[in-house]
Amino acid sequence: MNLNEIKLHRLTHISNIRHIITYGITHKKSLNRNPNYKAIGDSGLIDKRSAIIIPNNNTLLGDYIPFYFGTRMPMLYIIQKGFNGLVLIDPEELIYCITNVQQILDMEIPFLFTNAHASTKRCRFYGFDQVNQLEEIVDFVAVRNQTWGKEENLDTKHKKEAEFLVYTDIPFNGITNFAVYNSSAQKQLIDLGIHASQIVINHKYYY
């Protein structure tokens, strides 16, 4: 198993990129946290996660920075469509910050990972000792599956949303590349100082 090839995706609003370039991806309790952070997720779900205790180590789920193993996640659909009371966001404003499992290991950043959406009862948490079984624990067929809607696909949906949870800040040099919706978003990142070779344009990552 090549852990360099297991990509990790963190979606953020383009207005947060300037801070990320300076301080990296920061968690909410970091001394370097972004005071002007623009959230894109469901605030109700974020509050719920802040109260979930992870049985492995009695930490709070809300204290981790979540990454997905894939793109085009169900939450992105909600964000792009403006469902659940969220303000609709144009895909051009949504940026993927991408790293990989080996990069996290090399930086010695503490982490956990799950086999399903971390706030569901079917979720199990795994740590460093299980990282070499990651491809057996995470259902990558479900991660890549685009058919996750409707009640009959609920199990696939939860497995698709398996998470990689990072416990501390990730420095900017820990981000291997960025993915954007179009050339306009690419230009905005280049204008901020990100090299064009680090930016991938792929509208298929979006709805």
Q: 130-180, pLDDT tens digit by residue?
A: 999 999 999 999 999 988 888 889 999 999 999 999 999 999 999 999 999
Average pLDDT over residues 112-121: 94
Mean pLDDT taken over the chain: 95
Do the beta carbons of residue 107 and residue 171 sit within 8 Å?
Answer: yes
What is the spatial distance between Cα 19 and Cα 36, in angstroms, rounded to a whole number?
A: 9
Q: Please identify which residue in the block is written with the tokens 């492995």.
A: 56
pTM for the model: 0.95
Q: Please identify which residue in the block is written with the tokens 């009959």.
A: 152
What is the spatial distance between Cα 1 and Cα 35, in angstroms, rounded to a whole number?
A: 39
Note the pLDDT tens digit of each residue in 87-102. 899 999 999 999 999 9
Which SS3 state, helix, strand or coil, does residue 92 take? helix
What is the spatial distance between Cα 175 and Cα 198, in angstroms, rounded to a whole number?
A: 9
Non-local (6+) Cβ contacts of 184 within 8 A are 92
Give the number of other Cβ atoms within 10 Å of residue 98's Cβ: 19
- Kindly state the helix (H) or strand (E) to which residue 164 belongs, with its residue range: strand 163-166
